[in-house]
Structure 1
């Protein structure tokens, strides 16, 4: 056997051994390249519409979305803010905005932070620095100070807020309130 053939056999055997030792390791190699604390995907100029039974139920807009599905507790981050419009069956819209948000995938909880404002279709405005939205139970809450302003200008301020999405089951702590009451004449 010539020296060239011997080197060719040696190189071929080495290459085959190398290929077989890497078989099935592609996923492990990809995982090593992604930092454990890095987003696996990013999107800019996001404009999503959620559709249920052919009807648009929500419209999400954000300049930047980071997907951390690879984290041990997966989440989406909206570091430059988010605006979400919720549309009910009657076509009424409620809009919520914040300068920062995180959506936790396992719990369906959204953590909205920094200048959070919720405008309801019946002209109620809720303002807070942090607000949680429990998507599973349609529940809104915060343990931070908040201000609630109704259509007639009545105000409610407090240190804790806990309510269903319609504000019909409302709990608050340390309230200061200013209410406008319409005076009516009683019949004699």
Structure 2
């Protein structure tokens, strides 16, 4: 025999199940509306990040704004208002790079720096370029754009494109004009 209590219980159960399914449908819709194909998953402002390795600061990054697109098929982080990064080696020597725009591609480890890029190494070597790529995995920097380098020993180079290791000890320049200081070793 069906009682009034059974009918109410059945109606409440049907309404609860309907609400759960409709909420899941709406949740998916809300997520899709919120995450447009070109929207970042996060935005940061006034960044001052420190990267450490075994308690030692190895890098410090400052930027007014970061857009995190690591939710994309090809994940990246963008710094549309510029970036300044300081790198420290084990002897606490500091290398600094600044640029008006930067983008870091997570999968490839490639960093694209653009707009008044200036790299200053701990030995005072100073590189200026319109654009500079840094391959983090290979420890290599390169560009095909115009650049000038003032080496710590007084040498200089102005050219169209180069590639080098991070210490500028294995430096290959394409078309260039420069002054190279070569120390002669006595036997």
SS in 1 for 2:145: coil
Kindly provide the CA deviation profile for residues 81-109 of structure 1, in whole angstroms up to 9, marking residues without a partner as x: 00000000011000000000000011111
Shift of 1:57: 0.3
Work out whether residues 102 and 112 of structure 1, in 8 Å CA contact, stay in contact via their aligned partners in 2: yes
Kindly state the Cα deviation for residue 167 of structure 1 after the two structures are TM-superposed. Answer: 0.8
The total of aligned residue pairs comes to 181
Matched, 1:121 2:113: no
User: In 2, Cα distance between the equivalents of 1:70 and 1:166?
Assistant: 34
User: What do the CA deviations read for 1:143-178 (whole angstroms, capped 9, x no partner)?
Assistant: 111100023442101111100111111111111012
> What's 2:155 paired with?
154
Q: What does residue 68 of structure 2 align with?
A: 67
Secondary structure of 1:49 counterpart: strand
Determine the structure 2 residue equivalent to 1:100. 101
For residues 57 and 142 of structure 2, what CA distance do their matches in structure 1 show? 25
C-alpha spacing 1:43/1:60, structure 2 compared with 1 (3 Å):
same
> Counterparts in 2 of 1:135-154, with a 5 A limit?
135-154=136-155
- Equivalent-residue separation in structure 1 for 2:164 and 2:25 (angstroms): 51
What is the SS of the residue equivalent to 2:167? coil
**Cα deviation, residue 64, structure 1:** 0.3
Which whole-Å CA distance do the structure 2 matches of 1:15 and 1:29 have between them? 20
What TM-score results when the alignment is normalised by the length of structure 1?
Answer: 0.85
Distance 2:102 2:118 in 1: 12
TM (norm. structure 2) is: 0.85
| Secondary structure at 1:31 match in 2 | helix
> What are the ranges of 5 or more consecutive residues in structure 2 without an aligned counterpart?
none
Match of 1:132 in 2: 133
Question: C-alpha displacement at 1:136, in angstroms?
Answer: 1.0
The answer to whether the Cα contact below 8 Å between 1:36 and 1:70 also exists between their aligned partners in 2 is no
Between stretches 133-142 and 31-40, larger displacement belongs to: 31-40
**Equivalences for 1:31-42 in 2 at 5 Å?**
31-42=32-43
CA RMSD of aligned residues (A): 2.8
Gaps of 5+ in 1: none
